[in-house]
Each structure stands twice: as C-alpha cells, then as structure tokens.
Amino acid sequence: MIDSRDASLAVEIKDASSFNIVTPNRTYVLVDPSNTAHEWKAVIEARHRLMFGENSVLT
C-alpha cells in the first residue's frame, strides 16, 4: 500500500498564468500562457484525491 504521507502534493497558484506543482522531492515551476492555472490545479488535485484519498492534497 502507498502511505498517504509519501503522496502529498500541492498545486500552488501564483497568478492566472503561473503555478507550481510541489511533490515530496521536487517543485515544478510552470507558466501557462493561456492563463488556465486554476484549471490545472483543479484537474491535478481531483486526480490525486481519487488516487490517494481526500487528505492527500496539501492546501
């Protein structure tokens, strides 16, 4: 089984076009030229919750 403590993930929004995906080992710094950072956040977090449970996404 995967321990949810090893599965923490956060999507940090800086503005409409900038966000970071923060995983336990690394932070991915991303820029979305079409300004849909919030959509990325919603989709990634929803998938992550489906896989690891409600408390796996750090807010």
Partner 1 sequence: MNDGCISGDLYSYGVSVYQMICGRTPFTAPSQWLTFERIRSGKLSFPIGFPEDAEDLVRQLLVATENSRLGADDIELTAVKEHPFFLGIDWDSISSSTPPTLRAPDSPFIFEIEHTDDLSDAALERVTQDEERRRVIAKQARTPWGQFLIPKSEMIVKQGLLIKRAGIWNNGRKRMFLVTDLPRIIYVDPEKTVLKGEIPWYVRPNE
Task: Measure the CA–CA gap between 42 and 3, rounded to whole angstroms.
Answer: 23
Task: Measure the CA–CA gap between 55 and 30, rounded to whole angstroms.
Answer: 24
Residue 41 near partner 1 by CB under 8 A: no
Letters for 1-40 (x = contact with partner 1 by CB under 8 A, - = none) are -xx--xx-x-----------x-xxx--xxxxxxx-x--xx
**Cβ contact 52:27 at 8 Å:** no
Q: Which residues bind partner 1 (CB under 8 A)?
A: 2-3, 6-7, 9, 21, 23-25, 28-34, 36, 39-40, 43-44, 46-52, 54
